[in-house]
Amino acid sequence: MFTAVLVALAIGGLIIFLVQRSRNHVLKSENGWWGAGAPPDAEEDVTIRPFKVTTSDEELEDLYRRMDQTRPVPSLEDSQFNYGFNSHYLEKVVSYWRKDFDWRRQVDRLNQYPHFKTSIEGINVHYVHVKPKNLPEGTRAIPLMMVHGWPGSFYEFYGLIPLLTEPTNPGDLVFEVVCPSIPGYGFSEAPQKKGFDSVCAARIFHELMKRLGFQQFYAHGGDWGWLVTTNMAQLEPKIVKGLHLNFAPPPKPGLLVVLSIILGRHFPKLFGFTDMDVERLFPCMKKLVVESIKESGYMHIQATKPDTVGRALNDSPVGLAAYILEKFSTWTDHDFRNLEDGGLTRKFSLDDLLTNIMIYWTSGCIISSMRFYKENFSRGLDAPHAKIPVYVPTGFACFPNELMHTPKLWVQQKYHNLISFSPMQRGGHFAAMEEPQLMAEDIQKFTKTVEKQQPEKKQ
C-alpha cells in the first residue's frame, strides 16, 4: 500500500512537473497601449485601410535644399571604409541622389504591391500584402509573414516577393506574403511610450495575421526580424506552423556550447563543426575582439542614447545616408571596408539602397527605429523569452558573410525542432535583398519539408 502511494505521488509529481515545464515554454504577454495618452474608452477601430506611398514637390524641395547645404569633409588618404563611410565616395552617392535618382518612379515601384494600415494597441501598423495572381486550380497559397530589421525595411523583400508569390517551377509552393513594418519603422506609427520591445511587436503581428483571417502561417526573419518571429513562435507555437531564419546570434553559453568553444578547434567532428564553422569561429582571440569592436559601435549608441545621434540624422539626409549605407557595405562583406566605394554596388543598386534611405527619411523614423535597440537591450539576458526554447519547426539559412556565425549545434540549443540547416553559397547580413533567389529556394525547401510532416488547418 505504502509503495503504491509513493508510486502514485511520483507519477503525479512527474505529471505536474511536465505540465509546468510545458507552460514555461510558452511566452506570456499582455496587450498594451502604445498611442499617446490613456487608452480610449471605446473599442479600438479594427478596420483595415488601403494605404499608398506618396510624395510631393515640397518634400523633394526640402530634401534637395538640405543636400545642397551639406558641408563636405575630406576622408583621410588611403582610408577606404575603415573610418566609416568614405567621404569621397559619399559625394558621388549624394550627386547621384540629387541629380539622377527618381524618387517618384521608386514610389510607383513601392506601390506595385498593395499596402494597408490597421490600428493595433494604439499604433497604426503598416504592411504589404501580396496574394498570388495566378493560383493554379486545386492548390492553395501558403501564408507567410516576413519581418525586416534595422537599418532595413519592408523593401528588403521586394526582390523576394515575386519569387514566392509567382514561382516559375511547377513543383514549387505558392505563397501569400505579408510584410509588415515594425512599429517605429517605415510607415508604421512609432510607439509613444517606453517599453515597446520585440515581444510587443510579435504580439501585434499575431493580431495582424488574425485580422487577415489566418489560423496558421509561416514566419521568416533576419536581423530584428529573427527575434520578432522567434517571439511569435514562443507566444503562439500552434499558430506559427514553421519558422525560417537567416540570423540567429549565439545562444546563452551552456555546457555544450562552452565545450565546443574550448575543444571545437581541435576536435571539430565531435561537435559537428564544418570547415566553415572552424574558419569563422576560431581565428585568434585578438582578431575576434577587434572585429566585434569595429562593427558594434552603433549598437552601443542605440542601446543607450538613441535620441541624441538620432536627432542629427533626422535633420541631415546626407548624414542619414552615410550612417545607414555604411552598414550595407560592411555587413554584406567585411572585406568591403578595404574598398574605396565600400563595394556597395557589387551587391545592390544605388536605386534600391536610396529607396530604403528615402523610406527612413520621408517617414522620419530614424529615431524611433533606433529606440528599438534600447527597449530590447534594457532587459538583456533576463528577458523571459531568452530562457524559453522554440519547439516550432525551424529552418536556418546560414549565409557565409553574416555578422555572427552560428553553427548548427548552437542553433539547436535554442531551436529544438531544427529540421533544416542550409550552408549557403554566398551572401551576408541583408540576405533577402542581396540573394533573393537563394533565399526563395531555401524557404521553399524548408516549407515543403514541414508541409509533408503536418496537415494544414482550414483557413
Domain with residue 379: its CATH number is: 3.40.50.1820
Domain-embedded: residue 17: no
Q: Where are the beta strands (DSSP E) in 222-378?
A: 240-245
Q: Is the pLDDT of residue 25 over 80?
A: no
Q: How confident is the model at residue 283, as a pLDDT?
A: 79
Q: Is the pLDDT of residue 371 over 90?
A: yes
Mean of per-residue pLDDT scores for the chain? 91
Domain-embedded: residue 164: yes
Q: Is the pLDDT of residue 379 over 80?
A: no
Domain-embedded: residue 23: no
Mean pLDDT of the 288-299 span:
81
Domain-embedded: residue 88: yes
Q: How confident is the model at residue 12, as a pLDDT?
A: 42
Nearest-angstrom CA–CA distance, 130 and 27: 29
Q: What is the pLDDT of residues 241-263, one digit of tens each?
A: 999 999 999 877 888 888 888 88
Q: Which residues are catalytic?
A: 223, 373, 429
* Residue 115, CB-side half-sphere exposure with 13 Å CA sphere: 20
Q: What is the pLDDT of residues 321-347, one digit of tens each?
A: 999 999 999 999 999 999 999 999 999
Split into its structural domains, the chain has a count of 1
Q: How confident is the model at residue 139, as a pLDDT?
A: 84
Which range marks the domain in which residue 90 is found?
56-453
- Compare 459 and 404 and report the one with higher pLDDT: 404
Domain-embedded: residue 135: yes
Q: What is the pLDDT of residues 143-182, one digit of tens each?
A: 999 999 999 999 999 999 999 999 999 899 999 999 999 9
- Compare 14 and 416 and report the one with higher pLDDT: 416
List Cβ<8 Å contacts ≥24 apart for 389-392: 389/25, 389/414, 389/415, 389/416, 390/230, 390/233, 390/234, 390/237, 390/243, 390/414, 390/415, 390/416, 390/417, 391/25, 391/237, 391/416, 391/417, 392/233, 392/237, 392/240, 392/241, 392/242, 392/243, 392/417
Inter-residue contact 124 to 118 (CB < 8 Å): yes
Q: How confident is the model at residue 288, as a pLDDT?
A: 65
Confidence bin at 294 (pLDDT 50/70/90): confident
Inter-residue contact 315 to 361 (CB < 8 Å): no
Mean pLDDT of the 271-275 span:
88
Mean pLDDT of the 363-390 span:
91
Domain-embedded: residue 282: yes
Domain-embedded: residue 24: no
Inter-residue contact 88 to 340 (CB < 8 Å): yes
Q: Is the pLDDT of residue 201 over 60?
A: yes
Q: Is 72 helix (H, G, I), strand (E, B) or coil?
A: coil
Sheet of 48-51, strand order: 48-51, 115-120, 123-130, 175-180, 142-147, 217-221, 240-245, 394-398, 418-423
Q: Is the pLDDT of residue 39 over 50?
A: yes
Q: What is the pLDDT of residues 82-120, one digit of tens each?
A: 999 999 999 999 999 999 999 999 999 999 999 999 999
- Compare 405 and 315 and report the one with higher pLDDT: 315
Q: Please state whether 78 falls in left (phi above 0), alpha (psi between -120 and 50) or beta.
A: left
Confidence bin at 457 (pLDDT 50/70/90): low
